[in-house]
């Protein structure tokens, strides 16, 4: 078992090993990218470094390894981002409230069984500020087939009601997006993700930007230089 922080005070939270019995695929290294990616320090004040290139597996992995992630600019142009500061969830800093602990007992967690559906639900066009296009879904599904991307799925009575997905490289995990159609369903997926990362020796959980919601769960901001130092150690762990 691993322990987290009870945000209401009191004894540590003992978590289940949600991932027991699940073995992720061994990642397959794709062909190298044909593009020369920008330096993260070239980012403008919004965190945008450059536009263009492609979403092929080699390009995506090279970007994450160098501190970049893709996101469309105005939903049409492919942008490469490196915000400063960066949102990071310390793996010993997840805030688990008493109500979230109760929610953890209600749901079932599965890994990597309905990846494409999780990503499509995260990209539901009815959600505000949606950016996940079909091109992104296809690209990350290819990375999923190669063993680099994972989904954490929350079920209630065998119905998918929440989840998240992201990229894992060594001891690094880039959390990309989450969705929920039931109370705390995405938060429970996050609890399960952190449990797996801690149990498998991960070092860094990147969430891109800190929001008020993520801050309530323990996400902190780190300067870009500090983030890149953490990343360098994590991707080779």
Predicted confidence (pLDDT) per residue in 159-195, tens digit = 999 999 999 999 999 999 999 999 999 999 999 999 9
- Residue 15 falls within a domain, yes or no? no
Each residue's pLDDT tens digit, 15-54 = 566 788 888 989 999 999 999 999 999 999 999 999 999 9
64 by Cβ neighbours in 10 Å (0-12 / 13-18 / 19+) ranks as buried
Quote the pTM value. 0.92
pLDDT of residue 13 exceeding 50, the answer is: no
In the chain, the number of structural domains is 2
Mean of the per-residue pLDDT values for the chain?
92
With respect to residue 1, please indicate whether it lies within any of the assigned structural domains.
no
Do the domain assignments include residue 112? yes
Same domain, 115 and 147: yes
User: How far is residue 154's CA from residue 190's CA, in Å, rounded to a whole number?
Assistant: 10
Q: What is the CATH number of the domain that holds 167?
A: 3.40.630.70
pLDDT at 73 over 50: yes
Q: In what order do the strands lie in the sheet with 108-111?
A: 108-111, 149-156, 159-169, 172-180, 204-208, 86-88, 220-222
Residues 60 and 92 in one domain: no
CA 17 to chain CA centroid, Å, is 19
Spatial neighbors of 190 by CB under 8 A, at least 6 apart, are 94, 152, 164, 178, 217
Q: Which of 81, 104, 132 is the last residue of a domain?
A: 81
- 161 and 116 together in one domain: yes
Residues 45 and 133 in one domain: no
Residue with tokens 């695929």: 25
Look-up of token digits 């997926």: 189
Among 26, 52, 81, give the residue marking a domain's end: 81
For residue 124, name the pLDDT band (cuts at 50, 70, 90). confident
- C-alpha 9/C-alpha 65 separation (Å) is 37
* Domain region containing 175: 85-234
Together in a domain, 194 and 106: yes
């Amino acid at each position: 078992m691993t322990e987290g922080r009870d945000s209401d005070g009191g004894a540590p939270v003992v978590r289940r090993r949600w991932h027991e019995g699940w073995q992720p695929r061994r990642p397959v290294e794709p062909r190298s990218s044909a593009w020369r990616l920008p330096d993260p320090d070239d980012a403008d004040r919004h965190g945008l470094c450059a536009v263009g290139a492609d979403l092929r597996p080699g390009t995506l992995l090279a970007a994450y390894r160098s501190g970049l992630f893709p996101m469309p600019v105005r939903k049409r142009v492919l942008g490469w981002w490196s915000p400063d500061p960066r949102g990071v969830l310390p793996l010993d800093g997840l805030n688990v409230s008493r109500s979230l602990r109760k929610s953890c007992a209600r749901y079932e967690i599965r890994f990597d069984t309905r990846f494409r559906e999780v990503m499509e639900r995260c990209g539901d066009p009815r959600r505000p500020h949606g950016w996940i296009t079909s091109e992104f879904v296809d690209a990350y599904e290819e990375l999923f087939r190669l063993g680099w991307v994972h989904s954490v799925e929350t079920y209630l009575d065998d119905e998918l009601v929440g989840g998240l997905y992201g990229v894992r490289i060594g001891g690094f995990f880039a959390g990309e997006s989450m969705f929920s159609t039931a109370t705390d369903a995405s938060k429970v997926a996050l609890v399960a993700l952190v449990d797996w990362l801690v149990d498998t020796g991960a070092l860094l959980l990147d969430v891109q930007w800190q929001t008020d919601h993520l801050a309530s769960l323990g996400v902190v901001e780190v300067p870009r230089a500090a983030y890149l130092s953490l990343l360098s150690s994590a991707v080779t762990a």
